[in-house]
Structure 1
């Protein structure tokens, strides 16, 4: 067990519980494992996902913060930047360094200064403003671009379902 990473994660969890955030809450899946967090995302008013309560799981590697955690929606999610299996695809969760495809600059990718809060703020921003240039879910990106009304209807259904599952 990497003491530095577990200490850092305990500190971040403590800070989040002392001053909760309006758009998400975080807690441990199991008190004996600091590396697995349950996240509840409450998207801002004015976004398509407003009114929803989306469950997600953040899994940290033992070498955090050198390497990024992964974030996966456990609730259904229809979004261009979320894979069909729920994994979130945003630049700051990509490993540090240069992108082998040349799409992202190293400065856009994971940096050890990121915290759970900065990650979650990026995810909330992603919900409001998808990047359909580099989609994780091709079908959602296509619907976002070509049939926005259908996209909105589908998102409305998952928002209602997420609220009912609470």
Structure 2
């Protein structure tokens, strides 16, 4: 059941990807590991950046949520700013995940988060404080990290 659903969702995402998102398998032989390229949304400090996002699907998908992490380092309140790049998304928590949710919705939500961080649900408290209290500095550092880590030379 899960392989059929994953293959169908992959085909849909490849044929008509959401704006600013490109999807491919990390390894042709493994349906459960995806590489997602996400363009930084216009008007955000991530604009002009291209971020590599790893999506791992559990064998229990769609009954268990996928894991989404940024392979490209990013300065963001909802994404750990270490090499893991773990993402804090409410809809990906086991208790909030719905089997009817689709991967495209997860990816669109993740990209939306780049435009509109959710500091109240932050994984990086210091960045969330900065986002709330010194937004100009937050944007400046986020742009700097985007230039450094997410832009093709």
In structure 2, the residue matched to 1:103 is none
The aligned counterpart of 2:79 is 82
Unaligned ranges ≥5, structure 2: none
Match of 1:112 in 2: 99
Structure with greater strand share of residues: 2
> Quick one: distance in 2 between partners of 1:8 and 1:137?
34
User: Is residue 80 of structure 2 the alignment partner of residue 93 of structure 1?
Assistant: no
Distance 2:127 2:24 in 1: 30
Larger radius of gyration: 1
Distance 1:45 1:147 in 2: 21
Q: TM-score, normalised by structure 1?
A: 0.85
Return the match for 1:154 from 121, 141, 153: 141
The structure 2 residue matched to 1:32, chosen from 29, 32, 55, is 29
Superposed, which structure 2 residues align to 1:1-166 within 5 Å? Answer: 4-84=1-81, 85-96=84-95, 109-161=96-148, 162-164=150-152
Moved over 4 A (4+): none
Distance in 2 between residues matched to 1:155 and 1:25, nearest whole Å:
22
Say what the alpha-carbon RMSD is for the aligned residues. 1.3
C-alpha separation between the residues in 2 aligned to 1:11 and 1:111?
Answer: 18
Partner SS state of residue 66, structure 1 = coil
Instruction: Describe the SS at the equivalent of 1:35.
Output: strand
Deviates more, 1:13-22 or 1:52-61: 13-22
In the alignment, the residues of structure 2 paired with residue 22 and residue 132 of structure 1 have an alpha-carbon distance, to the nearest angstrom, of 24
How many angstroms apart in 1 are the aligned matches of 2:140 and 2:45?
A: 10
Q: How many residues are aligned here?
A: 150
Distance in 1 between the 2:78 and 2:70 partners? 11
Kindly state the Cα deviation for residue 22 of structure 1 after the two structures are TM-superposed.
2.1
